Amino acid sequence: GLVIASLMFMKKIGDLTAKRSNVTSFQKEKAWPDEKDFPENLEGKVFIKHIKGPLFFGSTSDFQELIKQIPDTATTIIIRMGRMQYIDQSGLYAMEDVLVDLVRDGKKVLLVNIIEQPRYLMERIDIIPDLIPKEQIFNTFKECTHWIKENKI
């Protein structure tokens, strides 16, 4: 009974996380407060993915749909991870699969505000720096925006 209750709980949390986390163009996505001054000329070229909540086996399949939702016009993908407190092994591999596909498709992936636990695991399996170089990882959205302007994305 306890195992079934645990699985049901994880499924519900996964569904809730997937429902709250989606990918839209910057224009359609509800901007976080620090995104209000994002350059308008980059809309359509830059897509922002907000990950809200943990990424674990209950929410990985929806996260992997990320690639299919991003149009070809997007050259840069910003993944904001400041509200993703936890990632498990299946979430880590789902993240790796998504990042591999994005990089293979020629997209520039920028990671913003990675919390300690997810970053530690991403470094352990060499997502950082082999797949996403350290210069494409930022502590704040402001740093990320500055990098985009400097590199004329």
Place of tokens 């909540």: 53
Cα distance between residue 99 and residue 64, in whole Å: 10
Q: Check residue 25 and give its pLDDT.
A: 40
Q: Check residue 10 and give its pLDDT.
A: 72
Q: Check residue 23 and give its pLDDT.
A: 42
Give 27 or 149, the one with higher predicted confidence: 149
36-73: pLDDT as tens digits: 878 778 878 998 888 888 887 777 777 787 777 888 88
Q: Check residue 27 and give its pLDDT.
A: 45
Kindly tell me if the per-residue pLDDT of 151 is higher than 60.
yes
Q: Which of 69, 28, 45 is nearest to 148 (CA)?
A: 45
87-131: pLDDT as tens digits: 999 899 999 999 999 999 999 999 999 999 999 999 999 999 999
Residues shown for the chain: 153
Q: Which CATH number fits domain 2-150: 3.30.750.24, 3.30.390.50, 3.30.450.20, 3.40.50.720?
A: 3.30.750.24
Cα distance between residue 63 and residue 56, in whole Å: 10
